[in-house]
Amino acid sequence: MSALYVCTTCADGRGQDLLEAVENEALARDWVLDIRGQACLAACSQRCTAALQGPGKHSYVFGQLAPDAACAAALLDVAAQHAEPGDGSLAWDRRPERLKSGLVARLPPLR
C-alpha cells in the first residue's frame, strides 16, 4: 500500500488547500488511498510539496505543485502507479505531464 503525504504548511496555507483538493478528487473517484497531511516536508523552496512512500518501494518528493484540480489529479494518477506491484519506480514517460518536472527527491526502498 502506498501513502501520499501532502505538506500542509507550504506557502502560507496553500499546502492545506492542495491536501483538500487531493482528498476531494479521491472522493470524486471513489478511490481509497492513504492520504495524509504532514506539517513540513522540509522542501520549503519547492512549495507546495507532496511525497509518496510505501513498504519496499522507492519514495518520491514532488515540489512546485499548485493547489488545483490538475495537480490533485496528477498526484492521484502517480499514486496509482506507485501502488502497482513492484518497487514503486515511476517511469518518467508514464508520469502525468504535471509531474515530469518538480521532482525534489527519489529515495531507494529500505532493504
Closest CA to 73 of 40, 42, 97, 39: 97
Q: Which domains does the chain have, with CATH numbers?
A: 3-107 (3.40.30.10)
pLDDT in tens, 8-41: 998 788 999 999 999 999 999 998 889 999 999 9
Three-state DSSP state, 63: coil
Q: Scan for cell 513498504, then name that residue.
A: 55
pTM (predicted TM-score):
0.93
More confident residue, 63 or 110: 63
**Where in the chain does DSSP place strands (E)?**
3-7, 34-38, 50-53, 59-62, 103-107
